[in-house]
Homo-oligomer: A and B are copies of this chain.
Amino acid sequence: MKLNNGLLALEEDYVFSEVSRRVRRFASQNPDARLISLGIGDVRGPICPAVTRAMRQAVADQARQRTFHGYGPEQGYQFLRQAVAAALTQRGAPVPPRDIFISDGAKTDLGGIFDLFAPGGAVLLCDPTYPAVRDDCRMRGMRPVSLPGTEANGFLPLPPAGDGEVDAVYLCSPANPTGAVYDRDQLAAWVEYARSREALLIFDSAYESFITDPKLPRSIYEIPGAKNCAVEIGSFSKVAGFTGTRCGYTVFPTELQVRGVSLQGLWRRRLASRSNGVAYVVQRGAAAVYSPAGRQQTARALAVYRENSRRLAAALTAAGLPHWGGQHSPYLWLKCPRGLSSWGFFDFLLQYGNLVGTPGIGFGPMGEGYFRLSAFGDPASVEQACDRLPRTLEFLR
């Protein structure tokens, strides 16, 4: 049995697993410490009433012969594809339901997408970026090529010069971990680049609901020409608290062809062998996110996270720590003080402030010396964290 070298070569650990390990150790050695987590990007919940009502109804459907749903369409139910398409169209990215593919979360398709490619191809990835994508790439035998995100480019790298072959580009905007958001001109440059290189642009819009400035694009399809080169991967995790309920979608525009091959057709063929779709109960819940009540209720939860972000940003500013993101994103990206390394600052914050964040190095080598805070906590904890932060940093003076 010959094993997959790409998989064998992955770092022994995923950054979040190492964070959990260090936190568990600290908690067991300091049982009285009141830890506050600004680490993992998990929502605080709960799921809003409009959605849980729809899910309860769907469970009742499954309990009756006449309304029971067995195997669903691999691409997802029409009722949900229509709702997603309408929402995208409404915000200026017109997409028909046939282009929408429902998934059990963005992570699944972010990895699965590399099944489309011949192994060995080059994939451009920001550094720092969501680490799962780099891992998926390697697992599938693709070659990740780094796009350095720096303070100078605002952590928003633009297309590189040179003419090496490129098969795909992965962009996440608003970005995980930096919270940086591409504007229209920058995304237009990426669309132009992908089209000229015949590369697939993989646009991760998991955090689009945090964008409040109407001038900033929330979908790649707001950019002319994107349908010829881009897929978009969306999620219900952050907008509606679906981290534990698992639903997302991927857009494969009909217009997306590679030398006469329809990528939508190829993806549909892949799904026929790889998936039996997403739970009916979950899809009913996701569709309710778009109901008038669902929109109102999820907007209220988002407002809480935005207020958390604002507070954290204010606390960082007050403490004199340079930071980015947090305005159209649940993530704040900060420079570790006193030249500390990412893990050094992690251990310092844990030890002296009982605060948990995520070391920037976990998102790529360029993340060394930086640190991510997440605004997904409950307001009381975030307020306490904002209070502890300046006092903790005093220890460094």
Chain A residues proximal to chain B, CB less than 8 Å:
1-5, 7-8, 10, 12, 14, 16-17, 40, 42-47, 49, 52, 55-56, 59-60, 62-65, 67-72, 104-105, 107-108, 111, 115-121, 131-132, 135-136, 139-141, 167-168, 198-200, 241, 243-246, 258, 261, 266, 269-270, 272-282
- B279 contacts A279, CB within 8 Å? yes
With known contacts A47-B68, A71-B40, A117-B3, A266–B8 Cβ distance under 8 A: yes
- B108 contacts A275, CB within 8 Å? yes
What 10 new A-B contacts, CB under 8 Å, besides A1-B167, A59-B281, A139-B273?
A3-B116, A3-B258, A4-B116, A7-B115, A46-B68, A52-B60, A68-B241, A70-B244, A108-B274, A246-B278
- A62 contacts B243, CB within 8 Å? no
- B275 contacts A1, CB within 8 Å? no
28 CB < 8 A contacts A-B = A1-B117, A1-B121, A1-B258, A2-B117, A3-B118, A7-B115, A8-B266, A12-B269, A14-B272, A43-B70, A44-B65, A44-B70, A47-B68, A52-B59, A52-B63, A55-B281, A68-B241, A68-B244, A70-B243, A70-B244, A71-B244, A72-B244, A107-B274, A107-B276, A135-B273, A139-B270, A245-B279, A281-B282
Nearest-CB residue, chain B, relative to A54: B59
Interface centre among A16, A108, A132, A279 (most CB of B within 10 A): A279
Partner of A56 from the list B14, B45, B59 (CB cut-off 8 Å) is B59
Nearest-CB residue, chain B, relative to A117: B4
- B104 contacts A104, CB within 8 Å? yes
A3 to B142, CA, bound (A): 12
With known contacts A107-B274, A111-B274, A132-B273, A46–B62 Cβ distance under 8 A: yes
A183 to B392, CA, bound (A): 66
A246 to B72, CA, bound (A): 10
Which 6 residue pairs of A and B lie closest in terms of their CB atoms, listed nearest first? A45-B68, A135-B273, A2-B118, A52-B63, A42-B70, A14-B272
- A62 contacts B47, CB within 8 Å? yes
With known contacts A10-B273, A56-B59, A276-B243, A3–B65 Cβ distance under 8 A: no
A100 to B71, CA, bound (A): 24
With known contacts A273-B135, A277-B246, A200–B49 Cβ distance under 8 A: no
Interface centre among A7, A136, A275 (most CB of B within 10 A): A7
- B273 contacts A14, CB within 8 Å? yes
A75 to chain B, nearest CB (A): 12
A369 to chain B, nearest CB (A): 24
- B71 contacts A266, CB within 8 Å? no
A115 to B2, CA, bound (A): 11
Q: Which B residues are CB-close (under 8 A) to A52? A: 59-60, 62-63
Q: Which B residues are CB-close (under 8 A) to A105? A: 276
Q: Which B residues are CB-close (under 8 A) to A120? A: 2
A43 to B72, CA, bound (A): 12
With known contacts A2-B167, A270-B139, A282-B279, A63–B42 Cβ distance under 8 A: no
A276 to B43, CA, bound (A): 14
Q: Which B residues are CB-close (under 8 A) to A40? A: 71
Q: Which B residues are CB-close (under 8 A) to A17? A: 272
- B274 contacts A136, CB within 8 Å? yes
Nearest-CB residue, chain B, relative to A261: B3
Q: Which B residues are CB-close (under 8 A) to A246? A: 104, 276-279
Nearest-CB residue, chain B, relative to A280: B244
A135 to chain B, nearest CB (A): 4
Q: Which B residues are CB-close (under 8 A) to A269? A: 7, 10, 12, 14
